[in-house]
Amino acid sequence: MRIMRSIGTEPPRTARGVATRARIVAAAAGLMRSSGVANTSLDAVLEASEASKSQLYHYFADKDDLVLAVVQRQAECVLATHNAHLQRVTSIAGLRRWRNAVVELTRKEKCAGGCPLGSFVSELAESDGSRAALARGFAQWQADIVTALEAICGTTPRPRATLVELATTLLAALQGGLLLAQTTRSVQPLELALDLAIDRIAERLARPSRRASGHVGARRGHR
Amino acid sequence: MRIMRSIGTEPPRTARGVATRARIVAAAAGLMRSSGVANTSLDAVLEASEASKSQLYHYFADKDDLVLAVVQRQAECVLATHNAHLQRVTSIAGLRRWRNAVVELTRKEKCAGGCPLGSFVSELAESDGSRAALARGFAQWQADIVTALEAICGTTPRPRATLVELATTLLAALQGGLLLAQTTRSVQPLELALDLAIDRIAERLARPSRRASGHVGARRGHR
DNA sequence: CCGATTCTGGACCCTGTAGTCCACCCGTTG
DNA sequence: CAACGGGTGGACTACAGGGTCCAGAATCGG
C-alpha cells in the first residue's frame, strides 16, 4: 500500500515556514526518542511543537515522511555532537577523553533513551526508506571515526581498510554498550565495551601494521 | 494510570489451556519481533494464533501483560539456543565455532530482525516492568557466558570479576554487531565485533591473569 | 452421567489516531 | 492598496485497535 509517495512534501518557501517545519521535526524527534516511533501520536507532536495538523501535512506527506525527516535530523545532531569531540582527537589519549565524555553524558541521562540513532533501528530497520537513512547515518559516523583514527596515525599512515574495520568495531562497541547500559541502568557495560575497542585500536596503531594478532585460523572462513 | 495490575492473569488449568496460551505467546513473539511491539495489533496476534479475544484476555490482563510474557519467552528461547552451543565450549576454538554459528544464523535471516532480545530494548526500556525482565534475561545470558569462560580456563581459574567483565564485553559486542548488521544488511560488523571480543578473551585467558594490558592511566577514573 | 468449571467464539463499544478539507491570515510584490 | 500565494487553524471523518461481555462448547471431578 502507499505506492505513490514522491510528491507531496513541499519544502518551505519562507523563513517562517522553515521555522515551523524545524519546530515540528524537533518536537517529533524528542517524543519519538523517548516513547518510540509508533507510540508517538501526531497530535502529541503538534501540541509539543505548537503547530496544527494542516502545517504538518503541508510539509510532510504522511507520518512515515515525518519519521524520515526525524531520522535525518537525529543523524545530523549525533554527528555534529560527536564531531565536536572527534575532530580534536589526535591521539589515543584524545580518544579516551571522547570515551569519558560519552560515558559521562550517558550517566547524566541516567542511562535512559539509548543512542539517538541506535534506538530507532529496531523499529525502523524493516521499512526500507528509513533503514537506508539510518545506514547512511552510521556510515557517516564511521567515516568521521576513520578520520579521527587517521589523525591518530599521524606521520605513519595505515591501510584504510584496517582503519575502517577498527572504526566499525568501535561503533559496534558503542551501540552494544549503550544498549546494555539502557537495560541494566548502569554505565559499566558501556565503559567496558568502549575500553575494549579503544585498547585494540591502541595496539593496532602502535606497532607496525599487521592484520591479525596471531591466533588459530578459521577467521573469515564460513560456508 | 493502570495502578492495580497484579491479579487478572490466571494461569491455565488444563492441557488445552496451556496449549492455547503458548500458541498466543508464540505468535505474538514472532509478530512483535519482526514488526515491533507497538505495531503488532492484538487482532493480528489472534489471527496468527487462531485464537479469539476472550482467550487472550482469559490468560493476560492486557497487552502489557502479554508483552511481558513474550519477553520472558524470548529470553528463554535465546538462552536455550545459545546454551546448546555454549555448554559444549571448552576452548577458544569452541568459542569461535559459536561465533561462526551466530554469524551463519544471522546471514541466513538476511540480517533482519536483530537480536530476539535486543530488539525489544529500545521500545521497552522505559517501562519498568518489561525493562526488568529484559535485564534479567541479559544477566542470565551473561552468566551462561561466564560458565563457558570458566570451562575454557580449565585447570587455571581466573578471578570471577575478570570473567564477568569479559562476558559483558562479549555480549555488548554481539548486541552492537547485530544492530549494525541489521541496519547495513551485512554480517561484517557482527564478525568484526565478535572477533574483537574473542581475541581479547583469548589474550586474557592465555597468559597469567593481569588486569589491564598496560597503557596510559585514566581508566575507570571519573568524578 | 451430571453439575461445576474452565475454555472458547465473536459481537460490541469506545477511545485515540492518521489523514482530509476548507476558510482564513499575512507578508510580498507590482 | 489590491491580490496573490504560501502559511495557519482547527473541525471533521473514517477506521483501527484495545478492551468488555455473555452465551455456549469442551472438559473435569465426583
Interface probe for B, chosen from A31, A95, A168, A205 (most Cβ of B below 10 Å), is A168
CA of A14 to C1' of C27 (A): 10
State the residue for C-alpha cell 554459528.
Answer: B101
Q: pLDDT digits over B86-143, tens only?
A: 999 999 999 999 999 999 999 999 999 999 999 999 999 999 899 999 999 999 999 9
A177: chain B residues, CB-CB within 8 Å:
172, 176
Residues 6+ apart with CB under 8 A from B122: A36, A114, A118, A119, A120, A121, A122, A123, A179, A182
* pLDDT computed for residue B208 by the predictor: 56
Pick the closest to residue B32 from B83, B80, B68 (CA basis).
B68
Global model pTM greater than 0.85: yes
How far is Cα A24 from Cα A145, in angstroms, rounded to an integer? 31
Are A197 and B196 inside 8 Å of each other by CB?
Answer: yes
Amino acid at residue number A102: V
- A36 φ, ψ (degrees, to nearest 5): 90, 155
Nearest-by-CA chain A residue for B132? A183
Per-residue pLDDT reduced to its tens digit, A24-68? 999 999 999 999 999 999 999 999 999 999 999 999 999 999 999
Q: How far apart are CA B209 and CA B36, in angstroms?
A: 43
DSSP string, chain B: -----SSS-PPP-SHHHHHHHHHHHHHHHHHHHHH-STT--HHHHHHHHT--HHHHHHH-SSHHHHHHHHHHHHHHHHHHHHHHHHTT--SHHHHHHHHHHHHHHHHHTTT-S--TTHHHHHHHTTSHHHHHHHHHHHHHHHHHHHHHHHHHHTTS---HHHHHHHHHHHHHHHHHHHHHHHHHT-SHHHHHHHHHHHHHHHHHHHSSP-SS----S-TT---
Q: What does the pLDDT read at residue A8?
A: 56
Give the nucleotide at minimum CA-to-C1' distance from B15: D27
Least confident of A6-10, B101-105, B129-133, B215-219: B215-219
Residue B62 CA to nucleotide D11 C1', Å? 33
- Measure B57 CA to D28 C1' (Å): 22
Cβ-in-10-Å burial (0-12, 13-18, 19+) of A183 comes to buried
**CA-to-C1' span, B40 to D17 (A):** 10
What is d(CA A92, CA A198) in angstroms, rounded to the nearest whole number? 8
pLDDT of residue A213: 46
Which residues does chain B have within 8 Å of residue A203's beta carbon, measured at their own beta carbons? 213
For the stretch A145-198, pLDDT in tens is 999 999 999 999 999 999 999 999 999 999 999 999 999 999 999 999 999 999
d(CA B92, CA B112): 28
| Residues at the strand D interface (Cβ < 7 Å) | A 10, 12-14, 16-17, 20, 51-55, 57-58; B 14-16, 40-44, 53-54, 57, 62-64
| CA closest to B40 among chain A residues | A38
Taking the C-alpha atoms of residue B150 and residue A182, their distance in angstroms, rounded to an integer, is 27
CB of A5 within 7 Å of some strand C atom: no
pLDDT, tens digit, 9 for 90 and up, residues A88-114: 999 999 999 999 999 999 999 999 999
Interface test with A, best of B122, B136, B145 (most A CBs within 10 A): B122
Strand C at less than 7 A from CB of A155:
no
